[in-house]
Amino acid sequence: EVFDFEQLKIGDTGVRYGDWQAGHLIFAEGWRGKFNPYFQYLPFRGSKGEVLRIRLPEHHFDRIIKHRLFIVPFVDDTYWVGTYNDNQFKDEEPSAKGHDYLRERLDEVLAIPYEIVDHQAAVRPTVKDRRPFLGRHPGHPRLVLFNGLGTKGASLAPFWARHLAAHLENHTPLDPEVDIRRFTPGSVQPV
């Protein structure tokens, strides 16, 4: 379901969206957060990463190879090969440029036959200063943002999720390095 901002009702004690209501609404939209009308003022960036999945018909290895790219054993005797990064992307789809880049690097590393099984792309939410976006909207404190974890999202998410929960539940101040107020004009950061 695509979030319909027209259905969002923001009150002093909570938010309502259709039949759903809560004290806060936390937006965790990834790179698409730049299209959220409440948080468009933030310097969202994105980085599209592309990988290939290959099969080596005559060989098998169980270690990661890192030389000009990485080759990681995956499932069903396939291997994950990457990565190609694009910060000037126009869509989320795998590109011919990414495919060619990965294939050229793979040909430099492997001297054995391989079969390309799949070519995938995904966009990571990145931020101008490489710090996540956490915090309440300056004009609508019931709207909260949790975004911009970038390339370290899988490892950073649990830590920053606990940090944000403590802020919302116990009024613990947010770390100024991740507080979205660092980009809010006229906002004063706590010291």
Structure tokens at 46: 């994105």
Please name each of the domains of the chain with its CATH number. Answer: 5-43+129-183 (3.50.50.60), 45-126 (3.30.9.10)
**What is the C-alpha to C-alpha distance for residues 134 and 132, in angstroms, rounded to an integer?**
6
pLDDT the model gives residue 191: 39
pLDDT the model gives residue 185: 67
Helix (H, G, I), strand (E, B) or coil at 99: helix
> How do 65-66 and 70-73 pair as beta strands?
antiparallel
Say what the pTM is: 0.79
Which residues fall within 8 angstroms of residue 157, CB to CB, at 6 or more apart?
149
User: 139-164: string of b/e by CB count within 10 Å (b at 16+)?
Assistant: eeebbbbbbbbbeebeebeeebeebb
pLDDT the model gives residue 187: 58
Mean pLDDT per 10-residue section of the chain, whose length is 191 residues: 93 95 96 93 91 90 89 91 89 95 94 95 88 95 94 87 97 96 69 39
**What is the C-alpha to C-alpha distance for residues 178 and 171, in angstroms, rounded to an integer?**
16
